[in-house]
């Protein structure tokens, strides 16, 4: 069956994209269970909630800076008078949607070796969200984690794979980045290959009405499995009654 447009009618009138994005990671894991070599495990990571969490502790040291003039004038400990801020803007708490499959080498204390990122509309919404997504992927790649990005979001034209390639200063290496399509699938990895250190990428433009491709899912420099996006996609659609 071909790729559907989950963000426009007729599919969007009967089924939410959130439901499909929530189901697809599980179907990918069911597929990988048959393919991963012994010692590797895959887990979903679906996060729906605030853009960030606050976990900040404030400490006061005994030798905290004190304005000596203020202390002498008051005869005691100096205090900072209330000062009007230069900028004071009310901001809305934004929601962040994160859909991932992470693959671990369980025999190496759950070392993360691969991540499959399913792009959501929120990831492509604003510059800071796109930057956050690209920065996360770039950091994973820098750590030697193979990253696959799958983007079915037809209603926003930004291409996060192209932005990742530009961020890593490889934007001109892939012809797809010259005229980046709004939906696509790509895999990226970086690390030693013999005596060399290589940055490698595989990319495919997607199109509504066409089948999804195979992507390489690298578990180590020598070992990979074929990520059959079409198979897991159809399984997720079937489970959710998406025709």
Here the CATH number for the domain that contains residue 38 is: 3.90.1570
Q: Is residue 125 part of a domain?
A: yes
The total number of structural domains that make up the chain: 1
End-to-end CA distance of the chain: 9
- Identify whether 44 is part of a domain: yes
pLDDT of residue 90: 60
Q: Is residue 135 in a domain?
A: yes
Residue of 239, 233, 242 lying closest to 212 (CA atoms): 233
**Which mean pLDDT values do the consecutive 10-residue runs of the chain (243 residues) have?**
94 96 96 96 81 35 45 52 71 67 95 97 93 96 97 96 97 95 97 91 97 96 95 97 96
Q: Which two tokens stand for residue 83?
A: 């000062």
Whether pTM > 0.85 for this model: the answer is no
């Amino acid at each position: 069956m071909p790729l559907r447009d989950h963000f426009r009618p007729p599919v969007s009138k009967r089924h939410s994209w959130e439901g499909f994005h929530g189901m697809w990671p599980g179907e990918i894991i069911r597929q990988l269970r048959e393919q991963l070599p012994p010692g590797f495990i895959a887990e979903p990571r679906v996060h729906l909630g605030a853009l960030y969490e606050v976990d900040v502790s404030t400490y006061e040291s005994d030798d905290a800076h004190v304005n000596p003039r203020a202390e002498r004038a008051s005869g005691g400990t100096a205090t900072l008078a209330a000062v009007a801020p230069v900028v004071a803007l009310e901001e809305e708490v934004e929601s962040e949607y994160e859909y991932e499959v992470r693959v671990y080498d369980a025999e190496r204390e759950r070392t993360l070796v691969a991540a499959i990122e399913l792009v959501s509309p929120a990831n492509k919404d604003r510059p800071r969200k796109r930057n956050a997504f690209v920065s996360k992927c770039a950091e994973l790649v820098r750590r030697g984690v193979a990253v696959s990005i799958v983007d079915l979001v037809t209603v926003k034209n930004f291409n996060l794979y192209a932005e990742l390639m530009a961020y890593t200063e490889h934007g001109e290496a892939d012809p797809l980045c010259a005229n980046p399509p709004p939906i696509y699938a790509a895999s990226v990895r970086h690390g030693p290959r013999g005596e060399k250190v290589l940055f490698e990428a595989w990319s495919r433009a997607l199109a509504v009405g066409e089948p999804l491709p195979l992507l390489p899912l690298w578990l180590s420099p020598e070992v990979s499995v074929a990520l059959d996006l079409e198979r897991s996609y159809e399984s997720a659609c079937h489970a959710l009654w998406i025709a």
